[in-house]
Structure 1
Amino acid sequence: MEIEYCTQCRWLLRAGWTAQELLTTFTAELGEVALIPGTGGVFDVRLDGETIWSRKQQDGFPDLAVLKQLVRDRIAPDRSLGHTDRR
């Protein structure tokens, strides 16, 4: 998994926090989350080369619960996320 973040916008802390949350939730499923410095307002989350969240395309940052659901749906679709799952 990769998170590309804008260094000009100083989004390293946001990218690091997002990575920490994903690694904490998906301890057995994710081997790593790479933080990739970028520019131009980028904040893209990719899984196996597929962009699952793009700040520019979705017009904002992902809600963490939504991002966890997107990741779960791809790597562990039968897994419950507990209170994070919306009914």
Structure 2
Amino acid sequence: MTPTELRGVPARPPGLIRLRLTLAALALFAVAGGVVEIPGWGRLLLVATAVAIPGAVAVQHGRATVRPLLGLPAAKVYPVPTTVRSRHAQHRS
């Protein structure tokens, strides 16, 4: 059982809107920290937390879950080529 499973059922990703608001608030606080002159370690902590959240979501729920969180379009899925059998090959076996 992986950490994202509970009783064998995969856990759902966290709320997208809530995470986006959290990331926006952390980024806003980091920028505002420069204006109100909070210590550098405080701004560094805010930025590190904002970077760690998408990283944690990617580890637990996969990289594809992070793309909508950051407002990126879904990754293109390329079809897997399949082999085509001829009718002649099917009648042989």
Q: TM above 0.5, one fold?
A: no
Higher relative strand content: 1
TM-score (normalizing by structure 2): 0.29
Could you say which structure has the greater relative contact order, defined with CA pairs below 8 angstroms and 6 or more residues apart? Answer: 1
Higher relative helix content: 2
TM-score (normalizing by structure 1): 0.31
